[in-house]
Homo-oligomer: A and B are copies of this chain.
Amino acid sequence: MVKRYLQVKPLDDVLALLGREFSCIPSVITVPLENASGRITVGPIFAKYSVPEIHLSAMDGIAVVSADTKGASEQHPVTLPRTVRVNTGNVVPQEYDAVIMIEDVWEESGKYTIRKSASPWQHVRPAGEDLAESEMVMPSRHRIRPHETGGLATYGITEVDVITVRIGLVPTGSELVAAGTRPAPGQVVESNTLMAKAILDEVGATCIRYPFVEDTPEKIRNAIRKACSENDLVIVSAGSSAGTKDYTADVIAELGVVLVHGIATKPGKPAIIGRVDGKPVIGLPGYPLSALTVLRELVLPLMRMYGLFVPPYRIVQAQVTTALAKEIGSDEYVACTLGKVGDRFVISPQSKGAGVQMSAIRSNAYIRLPRDSEGFNAGDLVDARLLVPEEEAENALLITGSHDPAIDYLADLLRPKGVSLISTHVGSMGGILALRKDECHAAPTHLLADDGTYNITYVQKYLGVTEVDLLCVAERQQGVVSRDGLSFTDLPGRLFVNRQKGSGTRMLLDYQLKKAGIDPGTIPGYEREVTTHIAVALAVKSREADAGLCVYSAAKALNLPFVPVASERYELAIRREHATDPRVVALMEAIRSKEFKSILEQLGGYETMETGTIRQGSP
């Protein structure tokens, strides 16, 4: 049987439908004041008594009868007949009506002398000055800020009724294993309900994760029934698509009604909205980025309808680095990396695979392309929604070009300095082109020219008169990775895995093949391209290929033999105009640090003699 979606509805229509079909009345829980911060009140809160209840001294000093002080001056000091020593906050006894600061009195054997009269009620906090019994402290649906817990305690409050939405999270799938269990082939670590709980608890929902449910209609039915009886809303993770084991929609239809199956968003299409016992049941797609999109674009707005506080995303205008075509009909959400180069934000779409969870970790912004959009061209200005605080986005250091594990360690050294290094892996040539368009702060590159020199030829060719410096990260070994210790001359006849065109490693391979007189046609798999060193090593380890060309650290990471082929100059091309940018300065300092050299030595395969040196690239 081949199933298809019953219908695919635009997101706006689905949100409108949620508002129409459900009353969205939140649950009420009572929390002790210690846990009230960030919560939203159900009803107004009133002071249980006046604060203060009687007149208090507002200063350290003496309580006086103001009439006694009349006429006191420098020339005519007055020694007061009746006084009481008071500290700040002490009661001013009923017969007194003013306080004089201790700095302004002269004491001798228990009598106080003053040189200035006191006006009635000076330095006295009258009863009810702060708030009177029965006055409203805060209204309904007020979000309690951390400092307000203090005031609430003062006004006699010890617990607060606040709103929440009780959400049952039901993970389904016979392939699921718990976090911490290494998944066997075909198994998957259950991460979507964990992610949903973190996202929804943060806005004040109260999530329960139920045990994993196997893919049988009966078990799914029981689990949904139980979750519906215990919560305001149920989210069923996975089983919402149209595969042979996607039972969620059928089960919801049995227990209640399926209102929507398929939402016109990308990712996130295979979502379900149903109603069971009058409560919303949402089927979350299985792919993490699809699930994340449905949580962000559908479930969080729904939480807003229930009255929870969901902070809006900050939006900045940014210039896109690459074109993105899309078909009309779906709202599309594109995970991106964003940073400020010069005085403008630039933004780059990431890999679009919905299974690549790292793109949710790497991205600091995203773009929403509405249904009627056909995408954008490189250079267009778009609205970018920030996924980090604006301050952090402003401090992003964009590194675009050839990837090396050492870059991740530079990110690790820079983060404690407040700089977020964001690397985009587009190969050396991609980096040079990004630098030409001034879309990154530094471009890591290892491009071998015909004369055997590195990088300068390409920088001069592509950046012309633009002033560019080359900052050396390291001299780095490239070599043959294999399971059996193959060397370069062993390659003909072996199943090879190659790097993409435009990458420095691909150019190095071609240069070395030519030099050795080996015809690429004699190497099966020469056409099979992957995009990182570690992907080459992994293809070898998983027996997809017998050999590849990569850096030593990638082979070492996966415990594979490595036979060196050549040493190359891995440098960062940097426009001279950005050399004084504090982020670039921090980068240079990190590269020249002792910690970094010792990291390179531990990783292995790097020669650090040239690390941190700068040479002129162009013009």
State the A residues within 8 Å of B (CB).
2, 4, 33-34, 37-38, 43-44, 48-51, 53-56, 58, 60, 85, 87-91, 94, 102-103, 107, 120-121, 125-142, 145-158, 175, 179-180, 182-183, 185-186, 188-192, 194-195, 197-199, 201-202, 241-245, 286-288, 291-292, 295, 307, 311-312, 353, 355-358, 360-361, 387-389, 391, 405, 408-409, 411-412, 414-416, 421, 528, 530, 532, 534-535, 537-539, 542-544, 557-558
Contacts and interface: CB of A to CB of B under 8 A. Distances in A.
Contacts of A242: 60, 102
10 contacts: A60-B244, A127-B538, A128-B538, A130-B357, A139-B415, A140-B412, A141-B415, A146-B199, A149-B191, A155-B357
Given A131-B358, A150-B360, A154-B189, 8 more contacts: A37-B201, A44-B409, A44-B412, A126-B535, A149-B194, A150-B198, A151-B361, A156-B179
A387 B145 contact: yes
A66 to B, nearest CB: 12
B544 A127 contact: yes
Given A137-B361, A141-B416, A53 B185 contact: yes
A142 B412 CA distance: 9
A103 B438 CA distance: 43
Nearest to A556: B134
Given A128-B535, A149-B195, A357 B154 contact: yes
Q: How many copies of the shown chain assemble into the complex?
A: 2
Contact of A150 (B85, B87, B191, B312): B191
Contact of A147 (B156, B180, B286, B360): B360
Contact of A89 (B128, B152, B155, B188): B188
A188 to B, nearest CB: 6
A358 to B, nearest CB: 5
List the 10 shortest-distance A-B pairs measured between CB atoms, nearest first: A150-B195, A153-B179, A146-B198, A134-B557, A139-B412, A150-B191, A128-B538, A87-B243, A158-B180, A153-B191
Contact of A202 (B37, B91, B151): B37
Contacts of A183: 53
A95 to B, nearest CB: 12
Nearest to A360: B147
B358 A132 contact: no
Given A153-B190, A153-B191, A85 B244 contact: yes
Contacts of A409: 44, 136
Contacts of A34: 194, 197-198
B539 A357 contact: no
Given A2-B102, A179-B153, A91 B186 contact: yes
Contacts of A191: 149-151, 153-154
Contacts of A130: 353, 355-358
A158 B125 CA distance: 54
Contacts of A139: 408, 411-412, 414-415, 421
Contact of A353 (B129, B148, B412): B129
A500 to B, nearest CB: 13
A137 B411 CA distance: 11
Contact of A48 (B134, B182, B412): B182
A361 B287 CA distance: 44
Contacts of A307: 416
Contacts of A142: 415
Most B Cβ at <10 Å: residue of A129, A147, A414, A415: A147
